[in-house]
Amino acid sequence: MSTPMETSEELLQSIESNEATENAQNDTDILLEDLNDTQDPMEETKQMEESQKTLEALDQIPDIIEKLGQDNTQYELHIQLIDLLKQADLPEQLEDARWTMHDVYPLSESLWLDWINDIKKEATTEEGEQKLRRLYEEAERDYFSIDIWKSYTEFIMEKFYKSFEAMDEEDEELIEATREDLLKAVSATTFHVKRSQEIWRLYAQFETDVMNKFKKPEQIARVKKIYLDRLDVLHIDCEETFNAYSTYITAWDNANYESNMVEANKIYAATKVAADERDVFEQKLVTDGYALDTFYEYIENEKAAKNKFSLNNIRCLYERAILIYCTDPGLWNDYIMFLIEKARVQSFLEHICRRSVRNCPWSGALWAHLARLIETRGGEPKEINEIFDKALSFQPLLTSIEDLVAVLLAKCDYYRRRIDWDDLDDNAVMDLRVAFEESLAYVDEAFPKSGDPYYRIEKFYAHISTRLGDADKARELWESVVVKRGRDTEAWIQYINFERNLGNYHKCESLFKKAIVKRIDNPTRLIDVWNDMEHEFGTLTTHEDALVRIHQKTKALASEWQAQYAGQEQRKQTKEMKEQEHKRKKGLHRIHQKQKQKEKQASFKKVEGQKELLGIEEDNDQVQTEASSSLKRKASTEDIDQEAVKRTKIQPQGSSRGRAPRPARRGKSIALGPSRMSRDHKPAQETETPATVTAEPKSNDDFRAMLLGKK
């Protein structure tokens, strides 16, 4: 069985000295030489690409291993190394790299399944099976994953059915071993209301197949109990279980079908009600994309649930959320606090805390939880110190003052609790002092300029020093605090209270005088404390001196506040003036725009009027031109008609003789429409063209009058 690599240097040496690397390089070179003999161009291109990727992977591996040797907490580098080793087809080094990463971080669900599928190929031997089982156990410790448990269950089932199909007699040892393995998976996944059915269904199939093959009464009874027990478990697919139970009863106890189903329905009905309540949140999880806030909402609802309430249901919801949001320290902390409050099982809690710091090693609060739990079970100082040292060795934790202080305070708390205050031990006291000094050094080194804005280590150390009777050390600590935090009113007040508790009222007066002249963040608070102390302990002289200094400070503050108020008023007036000026300019702009619009409209109307006048003149010219042309044509026609009249004998009106025949016409009669007065207006009247021409001759004047519309 392979063991985890101790260091990145060993892994690098293994790769550099391994024959597989040389073989991979040689095979690549040979492949590149023989590619010209390949008949299929597509296959040739594919092989070329694979060979190039392998060469690139071999080139990158040493550099990544070297970087991990300098800092093995770089998660992405571990992932890159695993991918490159897979590409280079170096299985032994790949397994070493996986174990190396697992020593630092938990592996994700996909990484575990990828590793498991690789090892499954070796599971044909006993050694390979043991290696695979170990991987399943390690994966189970990292995360709660239905997919990994399903892979495990399928592996157990596959192994069983290889022997079961050829089994003539019942192999109780094999059946019992398989049952034990499957029940392990069922038990681990029972409280996943959505997907536990996937695991239980495989187990039920196993028990049913054994029952169908050997038909033993005890096995028939076992299957019935399995169904009834499952119906009593909260799961969304309880209707499927109820229907499967109905099928079972029909096949094996049909004579008592009704009584069996009535009994089962009582169990099923209660489960169905509870399942429907949870299904609302399960659907909401899907709709919201498994958002963390939705998980929190689901968890809070589960805590207040009445139907089928179980702490295991709540725990399972936390585990499901952690599978997705494993790097959220707040989620881990909430999970741990819930377990401390509701289900304080030492071994289980410690396991959760160890998992939390593997996922979020930068969280000081989670490291503090782990140290306290180890202390609770009576862990040795060496073990607890290793926890603190490991936490402080993680670089990202040192970049956050809150996380750093959380670990340091937990360490000082631990050593403080080891002291018997009724019977002080010098070694225990020295250990506590060393812890405080180291803590101050860590803060100064990590944050040399800002330090801890709440001076929590100094305050704690000063209190312990006072309790140990070392007032000088406590005073030294408070002096350092007010030097660094001179504007912090509370720092001055706590220093003053320290001296007051020692009865050093003169020192208190001195500190008040120093603080009152500084630009502290809350002078009113300091003045109130000073007044209270003078009322309680002050002499006439000190009281009057305090009143004078307070009066001076009050006047200075009043002037400062008035100046600030005046400045605010000035800024307010300036702002209002700017707003008014802006409004004025905006109004002028609108007026200007309106004027421009009016001018534009007036100009447009003027142009349109000119166009109309021009249009009328053009129309008149056109009418006159058309009329002139028509007159010319008509005149020609009239001349011909006059000649015809002369040759015809005209009868007087009223004569009994018939009318003279109509003279021949050369052209057609002309029908002219009314003259156009405007482009945009229709004519008031139209002139009809006579259908026939009378025999009475018309003069040119008559024709002209007709054209002009006067006759």
| Lowest-confidence pick of 60-74, 297-311, 346-360, 363-377 | 60-74
Taking residues 392-416, report their average pLDDT: 95
Give per-residue pLDDT as tens, 268-292.
999 999 999 999 999 999 999 999 9
| pTM of this structure | 0.75
Query: Which residue is associated with the tokens 């095979």?
Result: 27
Q: How confident is the model at residue 170 (pLDDT cuts 50, 70, 90)?
A: confident
- In the chain, pLDDT over 70 holds for what percent of residues? 79
User: Which DSSP state fits 696?
Assistant: S
Strand positions, DSSP E, 487-544: none
Give pLDDT, residue 703.
38
Query: Which residue is associated with the tokens 């025949």?
Result: 661
- Which range has highest mean pLDDT (16-20, 406-410, 644-648)? 406-410
76 burial type by CB count under 10 A (0-12 exposed, 13-18 middle, 19+ buried): exposed
Give pLDDT, residue 306.
92
More confident of the two residues 541 and 698: 541
Written as six digits, the tokens of 580 are 């008014």
Distance between CA atoms of 224 and 249, rounded to whole angstroms? 8
Give pLDDT, residue 653.
43
Q: How confident is the model at residue 169 (pLDDT cuts 50, 70, 90)?
A: confident
Any residues with CB less than 8 A from the CB of 210 and at least 6 apart, and which?
A: 170, 175, 219
| Lowest-confidence pick of 148-162, 573-587, 649-663 | 649-663
User: Which DSSP state fits 72?
Assistant: T
Neighbour tally for 553: CB within 10 Å: 19
| Lowest-confidence pick of 90-94, 193-197, 221-225, 336-340 | 90-94
Q: Nearest 5°: CA angle at 468, between 463 and 469?
A: 95
Distance between CA atoms of 603 and 608, rounded to whole angstroms? 9
Give per-residue pLDDT as tens, 679-696.
444 444 444 444 444 445
The DSSP element (H or E) to which 665 belongs, if any, is none
Any residues with CB less than 8 A from the CB of 288 and at least 6 apart, and which?
A: 294
Give pLDDT, residue 46.
67
Cα–Cα nearest to 553, from 534, 526, 529, 583: 526
| Lowest-confidence pick of 150-154, 240-244, 527-531, 610-614 | 610-614
Is the model's pLDDT at 657 over the cut of 60? no
Query: Which residue is associated with the tokens 């056109």?
Result: 622
More confident of the two residues 77 and 610: 77
CA-to-CA dists, residue 228 to 175, 236, 242, 264, angstroms: 22, 16, 9, 7
Give pLDDT, residue 650.
39
Taking residues 124-136, report their average pLDDT: 93
More confident of the two residues 33 and 612: 612
| End-to-end CA gap in the chain | 127
Q: What three-state secondary structure class fits 5?
A: coil
Neighbour tally for 83: CB within 10 Å: 14
Give pLDDT, residue 23.
52
Distance between CA atoms of 585 and 408, rounded to whole angstroms? 62
Distance between CA atoms of 676 and 609, rounded to whole angstroms? 17
Q: How confident is the model at residue 589 (pLDDT cuts 50, 70, 90)?
A: confident
Distance between CA atoms of 370 and 353, rounded to whole angstroms? 5
Give pLDDT, residue 697.
57
Taking residues 577-596, report their average pLDDT: 87
Give pLDDT, residue 346.
87
Give pLDDT, residue 144.
95
| Lowest-confidence pick of 104-118, 497-511, 694-708 | 694-708
Give per-residue pLDDT as tens, 458-477.
999 999 999 999 999 999 99
Give pLDDT, residue 620.
55
Give pLDDT, residue 190.
97
**For residues 568, 570, 573 and 577, what is the CA-based torsion angle, rounded to 10 degrees?**
-130
Give pLDDT, residue 224.
96
Phi/psi of residue 613, each to 5°? -60, -45
Give per-residue pLDDT as tens, 213-231.
999 999 999 999 999 999 9
Distance between CA atoms of 620 and 677, rounded to whole angstroms? 8
Phi/psi of residue 706, each to 5°? -65, -45
Query: Which residue is associated with the tokens 């002096």?
Result: 479
Q: Which domains does the chain have, with CATH numbers?
A: 50-101 (no CATH), 344-485 (1.25.40)
Mean residue pLDDT of the chain comes to 84
Distance between CA atoms of 120 and 218, rounded to whole angstroms? 35
More confident of the two residues 462 and 593: 462
Distance between CA atoms of 109 and 518, rounded to whole angstroms? 58
Q: Nearest 5°: CA angle at 476, between 471 and 480?
A: 145
More confident of the two residues 609 and 81: 81
Q: How confident is the model at residue 624 (pLDDT cuts 50, 70, 90)?
A: low
Q: Nearest 5°: CA angle at 164, between 162 and 168?
A: 130
More confident of the two residues 396 and 282: 282
Is the model's pLDDT at 700 over the cut of 80? no
Is the model's pLDDT at 628 over the cut of 70? no
Is the model's pLDDT at 110 over the cut of 80? yes
Written as six digits, the tokens of 518 are 């500084």
Q: How confident is the model at residue 54 (pLDDT cuts 50, 70, 90)?
A: confident
Is the model's pLDDT at 522 over the cut of 50? yes
Give pLDDT, residue 501.
94
Q: How confident is the model at residue 10 (pLDDT cuts 50, 70, 90)?
A: low
Give pLDDT, residue 89.
87
Q: What number of residues does the chain have?
A: 711
Give pLDDT, residue 294.
97
Q: How confident is the model at residue 573 (pLDDT cuts 50, 70, 90)?
A: confident
| Four-residue CA torsion sign, 676, 679, 685, 690 | positive
